[in-house]
Each structure stands twice: as structure tokens, then as C-alpha cells.
Structure 1
């Protein structure tokens, strides 16, 4: 008589499955065969992160040195080559002599002085082209090798599309200073250009954070997110972005050099004649006193709200999240102090650039705190 099969089932065995392990189908699990791709794409994005950071710094120097209008044409391809002969340099200088900035501010500038500002703008544009090339080669390489993880193709294409849009907006900005009676580019166009740079930088930063952990880890961590902290950090991110735009308006019209006392402006709370321009809306973009006043007031609001967010964040049960909000608060405090020092010294070039890079550091710190609120790192019960 045949022996009955053993009917005893292990408590760890799934009901209705064979005891033998079933091989997962290729591509059927998250991260299957994609671990290497995530690390490689993250390294590529870190390179883009560094290049965009450098781009923001070079853009700041281009503005602070009044170099942005030295190249009066937009030639995305042929413009990659700088002047290579005396005749070519003379031609570029002659084009610059036709715009308002030269006629109203730099008349009598020597060719040697022109070359200095030309190289700043050329370097700025060349760096933009290089960033575009690095993005294209990286994306094409990962796509052709079929190494882009599921769901990431659109994200990476989105970064490239924003980069292309940034180039067009850059020329739209420059074009505003080539005609009429402007000495510089339109401040609201400068704010748009810098704002989009921070949008690109922010998405790259977030993607680097995501790719630093496995998709499985992120899905598990999401179950423990602190929704209230995420909301507060999101508000902090939006306020910081608005402050960055106001800072661009300040830089666009050199408003940081108009009032060098603090906490008052010209000895009073409100700057004198804050609504003297017509129509009234122009004052919010072109009146140096009112623009600096708005930047100061938003700075106070950002700092006060940031302290409230920090108080909530430092109470998080997760140590990594606590540390992220502590870092955010420290950078916020240093950026506020640096802003005051910049004003008191009349916004010299080195302080202006440091203040702009401080905004970058603060933006990254806010994003990191928001990310760790959304995806807390696992910790032992003892560490909770």
C-alpha cells in the first residue's frame, strides 16, 4: 500500500504554494537587475548636480561683473567658438557698442576691458552647453543599454527638457537689455532665469536622494512618513524659493547697494518714496528701495517660519530626521547673518556671491529635511 505524503506544513510556507522557491520573472520585481543602473544614474546626476551648482555660481559672477550683455547674439551651436582673430574680436566689440549698456554706462571701454566681460558671459554659456551635452550623453547611454529603472525615463527626460527651456529663457533674459534704455536685463526675467535654475537643481537633488536608497527601502519608509512635517517642510521650500526670486530682483537692479543700514532703511522702516514710479506695478520690480524692503521682509518671514518648523522637526522620533532639521536651522541662521553682513557692506562681489551660494545650501538642506520626513531612515528601537 502506498505511503501517504506528509501533510505537515511549515508555518512559514505560503498557503497554496509549493515548498520549492519560485524564481521571480525577469523584470517582475522592483530593482530586479537594476541595482547597478541606480548607482550609475545617481553618479551621473551627482555630476549634473555639481555642474548646475557651478552654473549658478558662474551666473552670479556674470551678473555681478555686468558681463551678461557682452554677447549680443544667440548662436547655440556656432557660438561655442570664441573670437579667434583680431578681426573677430573687433566685430564682437562693435556689436556691443551698439547696445544701451555701452552707450549709457561703458562708453570709452577698451577692447581689453571688453574681453574680460566677454569671457565671463562666454564661459557661462559654454558651461550651459556642457551641461546639456553631459545630460544627453548620459541619458542616451543608459537608455541604449536599457539600464534606466522602471518609471525613471520620464523623470530624466524632464530634467533635459527643463535644461533646454533654461537656454531659451536665458536668451529671452539677455534680449531685454539689448534695446531701449535699459542698462541691464529686465529684473523679472533674471528672476525667471534663476528660479528655473533652482527648479532644475531641486529636482536633481531630490532624484539623487531617491537613488541613494533602494526602491524597496523607499516603499517601506513611506509607510512611516511624518505627514505633518512633510507639509511644514514643503511650506518652507516654497517660502525659500520665493525669497530666492526676490533676491534675483535685488540683484537685477543692484538694489542691495542702495540702503546699507540695518534694521532700518535710510533711518526709517519703509524706504523713502516706495511707490514713486508709474504705473504702480513697476515699483515692485524696479524701485531699489521697495525691492530690497520686500527681500528683507520675506527674509524675516522665512526665518520665523523656519524656526517653527525646526521646533517641530527636532521633536521627531527619528534621529536622522531630527539631524536634518537641525542642519536646516543652522544653515538658515548663517544665511540670515550673511544677508545682514552683505547689506551693511554695500553688497560687494564676494559677499553677494557667498549669499547666493548660501541660498543654494539652504535649499538643499530644506529638501533633505523634507525627504527624510517623507522617507524616514530605519533605526533600532533603542534609537527611537
Structure 2
């Protein structure tokens, strides 16, 4: 005699074969090419990191204004003859940076800075090509998971905007008779800020695609909303400091005072408000800009201590480790910042400091992700 059945249970017809229950049904038909898309996004992430590093070296070598025209397509080809090189050099000789700062340059010297800027722009073209081919390929193959079409379109749109912002930045330094020898610092900050926004979007997508939809849905039930909010504030705070770092780099403020913890023997640097009107000091006074960058660094470290201690209280081991790792990276970044200033901004230390900013930003973002989607490995861990 058969056992009792629930009144809500469907009874199959006599002789009908019941389908076997397959685990992970929630992900069936929704995965798309998750692994392949994740690998593609990791490649884009690595290329953007390289782009930021090459951009930093381009700035440190003073190469950013060597190409005076924006030619997104035809500019992919470098000068192919001596006549072409001479024509490019003559265009550079017409701007203020050459006449004020680099009159000593010969054609051979110009070629060095030209190759840096050309490589930076070429890497941008490569990133755009990798995104376009990948997006088109997954779209045509119908392998994009549901809900991911717009998400995967966003990096491409941001990349196109970044190209326009890059030229807007460079154009601020291509002047004749106006005395500009570098790009506007606030435009440099916008350019770098958008690069970090693209990096953040890619990293978040990589984190999401590293887990199944089923796993993410289950993890959301254990999210720590307060810790997620703290990580969000920490991330925004770090982003502000990155923008201020770009302001420092834009006016070469890192070399204005090489002592630490004081500046020129004082807490507040001398002549901090010497420029008129006063608000211009916030953007153009090297001493004040470096001072603000230092103060925000100390405040960011203090907030990092708070986030670290709060993160240590999480019941999830992966969350605790993520917050500890982010804080360790932040502390190391502070040390690198001090060394950069004390040693007069050598390019080797300066580029490590810039890469350190990437590590801090991404690790805080990862801690934020895990606070929202904690990895529950066992019931014992949850109850601990």
C-alpha cells in the first residue's frame, strides 16, 4: 500500500516515468558562457591595470603632450619616415611645453617621449578592440547570461568616454603663448578617476561571475548590511584620495616638500595661501595640495582601522580575511607614499605607489563584495 500523499502533490499518470531531479537547477539555462566571459573580463582588467601604469610612466617622463593631435584611427600608425618624424616634431615645437621647458630637445629626444605617449594611446585602442570583439562574439553566439547584456555594454561605453576625456585632458596642455607646460590637474584627476571606475566595474563583474547564481542568492541571506555600508564608505574615501593623488601628480606637488612628518619644518606648509584668489591654492599651490593629500591619507588610515576592527567581528572567515588584507594594503600604501615624498619622487617608487592605489581600491571592493555575498562554508562557521 502506498504511503500518504500531500494534497498539493501532483500525482503522475499510471505508468508515466518521473523525471530525475538534477541538482543546481536554478542555474540551468542561466549560466551562458560565465567562465569564458569571466576570463575575458579578467583580461580587460589586466589591460586596464597596465594602461594605468603606462599612463603613470608617461606622465613621469613628461611625454603626455608629445602627440598634439587626436586621431583615434589614423593615429594607430606611428611616423614611418624621417619626414613624418620631422613633421611631428615641428608640431610639438609649436606648443608652450617645448618653448618653455624642452627647447634643448633634438629629434632623437623627441622620439623617446613620442613613443611613450603613442604606446599609451595604442594600449587604449587595444583595450577597446578586446572589449568590442569579446562583446560581439558572445552576443552573436548568444552566450551572454540573462541580465548581463547591459552590464557587459557598460565597460565599452565607459572606455569610449575615457578616450574623449583623455583628449580633453591632453588638450589643456597643448597651448601656444599661454604658458601651459602640463595638463590641467583637475582634468588629470577626472581621467584617472574614470580609469578606476572602469577597473571597479570589471572587478565587481569578475567577483559576481566567480560564483553561481544559486550561491549568490543563498549568500545574500547572510549579508552584513552594516559592514557592507562601512566598506562602501571606505571605498569612496579611498577613491577621493586617489583623485587627490592625481591632483598632486598633475602639478608635481610631490617634490615641493621632501620632509616628513612636517613640511618645511612646519605642520602646515609655508605660503599655503599665497595665490590669489584663495580658492586657486586648493588646485595650484603645490605645498597645500600635498598637505591635503597627506591629511586625507591619515584620515583614511584611521577609517581603515575602524573598518578592519569591525570586519574582524564578522562570523565569516573569508570576510574577516578580506578586511584584514585590505587594511594591510592600505598601510603599505601609506608607507610607499612617505617613501615617494622623502626620496624626491623617483619613478620606480612613484609607479609602485600608483599600483598600490589599485591594490587598495580593488581589495576594499572585494571586502565590500564579500560583506554583501559572504561565503558560507559550513553550518558550524555560521553558528560560531
Q: TM-score range by the shorter chain?
A: over 0.9
1:110 to 106, 130, 140: 106
The answer to whether residue 139 in structure 2 is matched with residue 143 in structure 1 is yes
Is the 2:172–2:184 contact (alpha carbons within 8 Å) kept by the matching residues of 1? yes
1:237 to 235, 242, 251: 235
Q: 1:201-240 maps to which residues of 2 (within 5 A)?
A: 201-240=199-238
Q: Compute the displacement of 1:21 (Å).
A: 5.1
TM-score (norm. length: structure 2): 0.94
Residue 183 of structure 1 aligns with which residue?
Answer: 181
Residue 163 of structure 1 aligns with which residue?
Answer: 159
1:317 to 293, 315, 318: 315
Q: Compute the displacement of 1:108 (Å).
A: 2.3
SS of equivalent to 2:27: coil
The answer to whether residue 270 in structure 2 is matched with residue 272 in structure 1 is yes
Q: Compute the displacement of 1:160 (Å).
A: 0.5
- CA RMSD across the alignment: 1.6
Q: Compute the displacement of 1:123 (Å).
A: 0.2
Q: Compute the displacement of 1:23 (Å).
A: 9.1
Residue 329 of structure 1 aligns with which residue?
Answer: 327
Residue 119 of structure 1 aligns with which residue?
Answer: 115
Residue 380 of structure 1 aligns with which residue?
Answer: 378
Q: Compute the displacement of 1:272 (Å).
A: 1.1
Residue 17 of structure 1 aligns with which residue?
Answer: 10
CA deviations over 1:172-219 (Å, ceiling 9, x no partner): 000000112111000000000000000000000000000000011101
Is the 2:52–2:195 contact (alpha carbons within 8 Å) kept by the matching residues of 1? yes
Residue 246 of structure 2 aligns with which residue?
Answer: 248
TM-score (norm. length: structure 1): 0.94
The answer to whether residue 78 in structure 2 is matched with residue 82 in structure 1 is yes
Q: Compute the displacement of 1:346 (Å).
A: 1.1
- The structure-2 alpha-carbon separation of the partners of 1:150 and 1:86, relative to structure 1 and needing over 3 Å to count, comes to same
- The structure-2 alpha-carbon separation of the partners of 1:6 and 1:113, relative to structure 1 and needing over 3 Å to count, comes to same
Is the 2:32–2:145 contact (alpha carbons within 8 Å) kept by the matching residues of 1? no
Q: Compute the displacement of 1:74 (Å).
A: 0.2
CA deviations over 1:242-274 (Å, ceiling 9, x no partner): 000000000001100010011110000111111
SS of equivalent to 2:33: helix
Q: Distance in 1 between matches of 2:307 and 2:153?
A: 33
Q: Compute the displacement of 1:17 (Å).
A: 2.4
Is the 1:101–1:182 contact (alpha carbons within 8 Å) kept by the matching residues of 2? yes
The answer to whether residue 45 in structure 2 is matched with residue 52 in structure 1 is no
CA deviations over 1:301-337 (Å, ceiling 9, x no partner): 1000000000000111100101101101111111111
CA deviations over 1:223-248 (Å, ceiling 9, x no partner): 10000100000000000000000000
Is the 1:34–1:147 contact (alpha carbons within 8 Å) kept by the matching residues of 2? no
- The structure-2 alpha-carbon separation of the partners of 1:61 and 1:371, relative to structure 1 and needing over 3 Å to count, comes to same
Q: Distance in 2 between matches of 1:14 and 1:121?
A: 73
Q: How many residue pairs end up in the alignment?
A: 373
Is the 1:31–1:149 contact (alpha carbons within 8 Å) kept by the matching residues of 2? no
SS of equivalent to 1:35: coil
- The structure-2 alpha-carbon separation of the partners of 1:37 and 1:21, relative to structure 1 and needing over 3 Å to count, comes to farther
Residue 361 of structure 2 aligns with which residue?
Answer: 363
SS of equivalent to 1:268: coil
In structure 2, runs of 5+ residues without a counterpart are none
Q: Compute the displacement of 1:382 (Å).
A: 3.1
Is the 2:45–2:202 contact (alpha carbons within 8 Å) kept by the matching residues of 1? yes
280-289 or 90-99: bigger deviation: 280-289
Q: Distance in 2 between matches of 1:360 and 1:251?
A: 16
Q: Distance in 2 between matches of 1:116 and 1:176?
A: 22
Q: Compute the displacement of 1:280 (Å).
A: 2.1
Q: Distance in 2 between matches of 1:139 and 1:31?
A: 22
The answer to whether residue 34 in structure 2 is matched with residue 41 in structure 1 is no
CA deviations over 1:136-189 (Å, ceiling 9, x no partner): 000000000111111111111111100000000000000000112111000000
Q: Distance in 1 between matches of 2:276 and 2:62?
A: 27
